[in-house]
Amino acid sequence: MGKKPFVTKEQLDNIVKEYPTPFHLYDEKGIRETARNLNKAFSWNKGFKEYFAVKATPNPTILKILREEGCGTDCSSLTELMMSDRCGFQGNEIMFSSNDTPAEEFVLAKKLGATINLDDITHIEFLKEAAGIPEVISCRYNPGGVFSLGTDIMDNPGDAKYGMTRPQMTEAFLKLKELGVKEFGIHSFLASNTVTNEYYPALAKQLFELAVELQKETGVHIGFINLSGGVGVPYLPDQEGNDIAVIGEGVHKAFDEVLVPAGMGDVKIFTELGRYMLAPNGHLVTKAIHEKHTHKEYIGVDACAVNLMRPAMYGAYHHITVMGKEDQPCDHMYDVTGSLCENNDKFAIDRMLPKIDKGDVLVIHDTGAHGFAMGYNYNGKLKSAEILMKEDGSTEMIRRAETPEDYFATIEGFNF
- Compute the distance between CA of residue 14 and CA of residue 5 in angstroms, rounded to an integer: 15
In whole angstroms, how far apart are CA 91 and each of 63, 69, 125? Answer: 16, 17, 22
- DSSP tag of 402: P
Instruction: Say how many C-beta atoms besides its own lie within 10 A of residue 70's C-beta.
Output: 14
Helix or strand (DSSP H, E) at 351: strand 346-353
Q: Which residues, other chains included, contact 307 with Cβ-Cβ below 8 Å and sequence gap of 6+?
A: 22, 24, 284, 286, 338, 371, 372, 375, 383, 384
What are the φ and ψ backbone dihedral angles of 394, each rounded to 5 degrees?
-75, 165
Instruction: Say how many C-beta atoms besides its own lie within 10 A of residue 142's C-beta.
Output: 22
Q: Which residues, other chains included, contact 408 with Cβ-Cβ below 8 Å and sequence gap of 6+?
A: 414, 416
Q: Please give, one letter per residue, the 3-state secondary structure of 26-87.
A: EEHHHHHHHHHHHHHHCCCCCCCEEEEEHHHCCCHHHHHHHHHCCCEEEECCHHHHHHHHHC
- Active-site amino acid positions: 341
